[in-house]
């Protein structure tokens, strides 16, 4: 058997249940209204027949031969139309008196059990039957002993007199119920849409948190969603704490391995490694470190935990720190970073990249350093300029190598540019050096833009 496909959405379930419930309610209401109208019409017909029975009862006399005689004219409309179904008949000891509408025919009322309650109260009893033409009739019959004889009075109405008014009311009832059903369905759709609006807004807020545009979820107006939002915010905070722990572990591993591996590579020369085998192994270790650190950062980004760091504030902090370290040099540092720029890198990595480059600028600058930050499509371009001696174009590639120092007179270990380059490349960025035309060095760092 083919099963009914269940709705797969909450809105679909609510609409399906509400429509089914409203349909059942309308059908039930229609049935109840049908019964009410039918009973009202039946009561009106029975009341009319009861009045006719009482009028006939008050006009009955028993003739000398024992036959019933009805004084006066009791055949007013509709009891005066032959075959109309509106009849009355009096039965006394096998003899009858009938209305003009019977036109000489008689009513055959089905025999009923003797009713003492009806006999004492005089209330008529209902019944169903047919006239001599086969027309369905609705009967009321009453028995009494007012004249010393058992007198039975029967009054009838055509069955159509009960059915047709109900059918006419049904013709009005069905369109009214259809219109009411349409209004209910429209109301249900609006109710579901309005009722589920907080859920749609919550989904948008969760997407903002996932993409980094928001830190956590605001408390919703809907009271029922507040526990859910609280749990989501707690989960986001736990993930943020775990991310921070993971980032710290990666940073520690990077700091712990990069310099020793680079130093090991520099310590190996043709005398200690004539075949170059050891240096190839060190290169392989260095590539593996970069590869796995890159995969870890990419995995965190794809999991919706991509880091986001405000660039301007970090540049200000680094410049302030460097000015304290190099206070004796009296370098003027300027931060021309655009407002509200966020790079898609962890704060400690931004500090490591820019810290190494700005530290180098403070070592070589004569009097001034300038940092410019600009949006560049889906990336952010950070340029660090100084007015020092700069680096010749032929020496730039050498300066990017780990442990290489072009001037031994200035303190340093030769790892600044190489570490900045390696960390930037883990995020899909790059570091480039260029000698300025007027004087000094220009270092450009390209990093991905954060979602926020």
CB atoms within 10 A of CB 145: 9
Residue pLDDT, tens place only, 286-308: 777 766 666 665 555 544 455 78
Residue pLDDT, tens place only, 426-444: 778 888 888 887 778 889 9
Averaged over 111-121, what is the pLDDT?
51
**What is the percent of the chain where pLDDT is above 70?**
79
pLDDT at residue number 187: 83
CB atoms within 10 A of CB 409: 5
Question: What's the mean pLDDT when you consider all of the chain?
Answer: 78
pLDDT at residue number 317: 92
Reduce the DSSP state of residue 402 to 3 states and report it.
coil
Q: CA 235 to CA 167: how far, in whole Å?
A: 64
Reduce the DSSP state of residue 374 to 3 states and report it.
strand
Residue 285 has pLDDT above 70, yes or no: yes
Domain ranges of the chain: 10-164, 240-305, 309-448
Radius of gyration of the chain (CA): 51
pLDDT at residue number 335: 92
The pLDDT confidence band at residue 248, using thresholds 50, 70 and 90, is low
Q: CA 199 to CA 188: how far, in whole Å?
A: 17
Domains 10-164 and 309-448 share a fold: no
Over 250-268, what HEC string results? Answer: HHHHHHHHHHHHHHHHHHC
Residue 271 has pLDDT above 80, yes or no: no
Place of tokens 């070592």: 363
Strand 441-448 to 368-376 pairing: unpaired
309-448 has CATH 3.30.565.10 classification = yes
Of 56, 351, 167, 253, the residue nearest 359 (C-alpha):
351
Mean pLDDT is highest, among 11-15, 44-48, 172-176, 387-391, for 44-48
Cross-strand partners of 154? 89, 141
10-164 has CATH 3.30.450 classification = yes
The pLDDT confidence band at residue 409, using thresholds 50, 70 and 90, is very low
Return the structure tokens found at 18: 């509400």
The pLDDT confidence band at residue 403, using thresholds 50, 70 and 90, is very low
Its pTM surpasses 0.85: no
Residue 278 has pLDDT above 70, yes or no: yes
pLDDT at residue number 406: 45
pLDDT at residue number 84: 87
The pLDDT confidence band at residue 391, using thresholds 50, 70 and 90, is confident
Mark out the alpha helices in 149-225 (DSSP H runs): 160-211
Q: CA 423 to CA 345: how far, in whole Å?
A: 10
Return the structure tokens found at 19: 């429509």
pLDDT at residue number 452: 53
Strand 332-337 to 368-376 pairing: parallel
Q: CA 90 to CA 142: how far, in whole Å?
A: 10
Averaged over 37-61, what is the pLDDT?
88
CB 308 within 8 A of CB 440: no
Q: CA 184 to CA 187: how far, in whole Å?
A: 5
Averaged over 318-326, what is the pLDDT?
89
Which of 87-91, 204-208, 324-328 is predicted least confidently? Answer: 204-208
CB atoms within 10 A of CB 69: 14
pLDDT at residue number 21: 83
Phi and psi for 271 in degrees, rounded to 5?
-75, -45
Cross-strand partners of 391? none
Place of tokens 């007199």: 161
354: DSSP letter: H
CB atoms within 10 A of CB 119: 14
Cross-strand partners of 155? 88, 140
pLDDT at residue number 413: 47
Residue pLDDT, tens place only, 172-230: 878 888 888 888 888 888 887 877 777 788 778 887 777 667 777 778 777 777 888 88
Averaged over 127-140, what is the pLDDT?
84
Q: CA 421 to CA 197: how far, in whole Å?
A: 47
């Amino acid at each position: 058997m083919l099963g009914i496909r269940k709705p797969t959405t909450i809105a679909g379930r609510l609409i399906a249940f509400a429509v089914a419930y409203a349909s059942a309610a309308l059908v039930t209401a229609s049935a109840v209204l049908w019964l009410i109208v039918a009973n009202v019409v039946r009561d009106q017909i029975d009341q009319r027949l009861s009045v006719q029975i009482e009028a006939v009862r008050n006009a009955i006399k028993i003739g000398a031969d024992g036959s019933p005689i009805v004084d006066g004219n009791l055949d007013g409309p509709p009891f005066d139309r032959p075959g109309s179904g509106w009849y009355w008949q009096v039965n006394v000891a096998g003899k009858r008196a009938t209305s003009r509408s019977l036109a000489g025919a008689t009513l055959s009322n089905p025999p009923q059990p003797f009713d003492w309650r009806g006999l004492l109260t005089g209330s008529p009893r209902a019944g169903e039957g047919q006239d001599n033409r086969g027309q369905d009739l609705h009967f009321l019959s009453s028995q009494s002993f007012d004249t010393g004889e058992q007198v039975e009075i029967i009054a009838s109405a055509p069955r159509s007199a009960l059915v047709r008014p109900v059918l006419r009311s049904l013709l009005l009832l069905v369109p009214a119920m259809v219109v009411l059903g349409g209004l209910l369905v429209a109301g249900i759709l609006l109710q579901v849409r309005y009722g589920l609006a907080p859920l749609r807004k919550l989904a948008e807020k969760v997407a903002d948190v996932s993409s980094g545009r928001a830190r956590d979820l605001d408390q919703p107006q809907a009271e029922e969603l507040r526990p859910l939002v609280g749990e989501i915010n707690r989960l986001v905070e736990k993930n943020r704490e775990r991310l921070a722990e993971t980032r710290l572990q990666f940073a520690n591993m990077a700091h712990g391995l990069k310099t020793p591996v680079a130093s090991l590579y520099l310590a190996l020369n043709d005398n200690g490694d004539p075949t170059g085998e050891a240096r190839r192994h060190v290169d392989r270790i260095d590539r593996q470190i970069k590869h796995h650190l890159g995969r870890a950062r990419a995995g965190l980004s794809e999991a919706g935990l991509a880091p986001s760091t405000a660039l301007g504030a970090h540049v200000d902090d680094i410049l302030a720190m460097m000015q304290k370290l190099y206070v004796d040099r009296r370098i003027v540092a300027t931060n021309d970073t655009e407002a509200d720029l966020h790079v898609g890198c962890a704060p400690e990595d931004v500090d490591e990249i820019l810290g190494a480059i700005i530290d180098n600028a403070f070592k070589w600058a004569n009097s001034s350093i300038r940092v410019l930050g600009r949006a560049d499509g889906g990336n952010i371009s950070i340029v660090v300029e100084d007015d020092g001696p700069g680096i010749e174009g032929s020496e730039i590639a050498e300066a990017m190598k780990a442990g290489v120092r072009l001037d031994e007179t200035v303190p340093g270990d030769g790892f600044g540019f190489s570490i900045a380059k390696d960390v930037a490349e883990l995020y899909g960025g790059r570091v480039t050096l260029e000698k300025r035309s007027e004087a000094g060095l220009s270092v450009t760092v390209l990093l991905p833009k954060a979602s926020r």
